Amino acid sequence: MSEQGENPLAEHNEQRDLRIEKLKALRDQGIDPFVVERCERSHTAAEISTEESFSLLENQQVSVAGRLVAKRAMGKASFAHLADESGRLQIYVKKDDVGDSIYEIFRVADLGDFLAVRGYIFRTRTGEISVHAQDVTLISKALRPPPLGKMDEEGQAHGALANTEDRYRYRHLDLMANPESRAILTKRCRVVSAMRRFLDGQGFLEVETPVLQLVAGGAAARPFKTHHNALDHEFKLRISLELYLKRLIIGGYEKVYEIGRVFRNEGISTRHNPEFTLMELYQAYADLDDIMELVERMYVSIAQDVNGAPNFQYLGQTIDLAARPWRRLPMLEGIRQYAAIDPAAFETIESGKSACLAINVPFSLDRETTLGGLIEKLHEVYTQPNLIQPTFITDFPVETSPLAKKRQDNPALTRRFEVYAATQELGNAFSEINDPLDQRERFEAQVSQREAGDDEAHPMDEDFLKAMEYGMPPTGGLGIGMDRLALILTEADSIRDVLLFPLMRPDK
């Protein structure tokens, strides 16, 4: 059986031994591919393989390099394909042109090896733009056969790494074998770059805050814990960027943001990964409405930058980010529309649960211990699946929003929004609390929830409260999960598709 027809993740002990023997034979001839430190390239594959470039480069000498991904020997001449980051390029190697010794090295080269080729551009009889080799150098050797599959006439690979779990677990092989995976992950990187450019252009300062924290706050989540040996103290990995960024606002900065990894000790799904990238920004003298306007402009800018248009497809529907202003929908009004429960039913948690029983909700009411938690659960189950076009969900309950200002006309609700598109939550924003006495009361209420068994309730943070007591200006804040945003802009199926190395259960 050929290398390409075998299980791509088999141990390949026999083939590995054969490749090592080839390497030893090369070294006996004084040829060691691993001593090569650099390779001079004049062009990439993409810079050669277009009709426009061919008209300029025909018969010109070029230097290219890449991974050997296909080879077809025909006696004293062979065709092969090299792959670099930009694409694939055919090379033609003729024994009479490169000499016996070089041709023999090329002949025994394995798929996965890296070659440097110098030659001139020509077009084959079948019309394929190629490099006619005048010199070939082996610059690195693969000791295991790559799971490349076989390429058909249309350029599609068959038999390559296809198992979804294997693609996530062995991302280096996925990137090697599946160009579509690399395209999605590259676009995800560009989403982050586009956001950074936008915020820098708005006068925000990018900063860095601690990952190891004594109190992991700023979100409702269980943290990961670790022990610092030198200090002999337990620390937590951050679950949010919020409280340290607010300290910077207190200290005198007026527009700050951070893009960084946060860690939440929670489940794994197509929409959740315990380690993810979060962007949080804080703007002094701004409120929730200012942040809404910023979000609309930022998302349009990012989509235009990354996709070339401010819209994308979701389940056959066009999501148009440029159709501003986006819909504003109070949470209780959404529940009225999609769950048919009147807001008046939520006077108490008991009356709210009675209304839920009347419509036979598909979740356990026993797990909901606060009225705010019940309301948010109804939103998640009934409203969120209907949020296709960009929508701001506003007026969150106070019990689930310990860091947002209360509405002046209704203290049971807060000045908070979440932004949704394609049913995904793509941002969370507040008019931030800057009253340290109110903030203390909210933390105390969260501590009571924690004592009642809610291990995701916000902890007390005395250091942050002391910082607030030195004075904090009115501030608008925003948090965005970068992976969720990339998910919809790349039209990927799972959040793992936009994570280079998603967390996986250890391989047995």
Query: Does 457 have pLDDT greater than 60?
Result: yes
Task: Give yes or no for a contact between 486 and 498, defined as CB atoms under 8 angstroms apart.
Answer: yes
pLDDT at position 322: 95
Alpha-carbon span 487 to 316, nearest angstrom: 16
Confidence band for 280, pLDDT divided at 50, 70 and 90: very high
Across residues 284-306, what is the average pLDDT? Answer: 98
Query: Does 508 have pLDDT greater than 90?
Result: no
Query: Does 11 have pLDDT greater than 80?
Result: no
Query: SS3 for 356-397, per residue?
Result: HHHCCCCCCHHHCCCHHHHHHHHHHHHHHHHCCCCEEEECCE
Across residues 310-333, what is the average pLDDT? Answer: 93
Confidence band for 1, pLDDT divided at 50, 70 and 90: very low
Do the strands 129-140 and 255-263 form a parallel or antiparallel pair, or are they unpaired? Answer: unpaired
Query: Does 2 have pLDDT greater than 80?
Result: no
Confidence band for 159, pLDDT divided at 50, 70 and 90: low
Query: Does 90 have pLDDT greater than 70?
Result: yes
> Phi, psi at residue 268, to the nearest 5°?
-115, 135
Helices and strands per DSSP (H, E), number in the chain: 15, 22
Question: Residue 95 corresponds to which tokens in the numbers above?
Answer: 């024994």
pLDDT at position 10: 64
Alpha-carbon span 217 to 447, nearest angstrom: 12
Confidence band for 156, pLDDT divided at 50, 70 and 90: low
- What global pTM score does this model have? 0.91
Please name each of the domains of the chain with its CATH number.
3-157 (2.40.50.140), 181-326+389-489 (3.30.930.10), 327-378 (no CATH)
Across residues 414-430, what is the average pLDDT? Answer: 97
Confidence band for 437, pLDDT divided at 50, 70 and 90: very high
Alpha-carbon span 16 to 3, nearest angstrom: 11
Question: Residue 176 corresponds to which tokens in the numbers above?
Answer: 């090697």
> Phi, psi at residue 346, to the nearest 5°?
-105, 40
Query: Does 21 have pLDDT greater than 70?
Result: yes
Collapsed DSSP state (helix, strand, coil) of residue 120: strand
Task: Give yes or no for a contact between 469 and 463, defined as CB atoms under 8 angstroms apart.
Answer: no
Alpha-carbon span 189 to 499, nearest angstrom: 10
pLDDT one-digit tens code per residue, 496-506: 999 999 999 88
pLDDT at position 470: 98
pLDDT at position 148: 87
**Average per-residue pLDDT in the chain?**
94
Neighbour-count burial of 463, counting CB atoms closer than 10 A to its CB (0-12 exposed, 13-18 middle, 19+ buried): exposed
Could you tell me which residues come within 8 angstroms of residue 221 by beta carbon, excluding any fewer than 6 positions away? 239, 240, 264, 265, 266, 456
pLDDT at position 339: 98
Confidence band for 80, pLDDT divided at 50, 70 and 90: very high
Confidence band for 6, pLDDT divided at 50, 70 and 90: very low
pLDDT one-digit tens code per residue, 231-262: 999 999 999 999 999 999 999 999 999 999 99
pLDDT one-digit tens code per residue, 338-382: 999 999 999 999 999 999 999 999 999 999 999 999 999 999 999
pLDDT one-digit tens code per residue, 260-278: 999 999 988 888 899 999 9
Across residues 398-419, what is the average pLDDT? Answer: 96
pLDDT at position 269: 87
pLDDT one-digit tens code per residue, 108-155: 999 999 999 999 999 999 999 999 999 999 999 999 999 987 766 665
Q: Percent of the chain scored above 90 by pLDDT?
A: 88
Across residues 422-451, what is the average pLDDT? Answer: 95
Across residues 299-313, what is the average pLDDT? Answer: 95
Q: Give alpha helix (H) positions in 308-362.
A: 331-339, 349-358
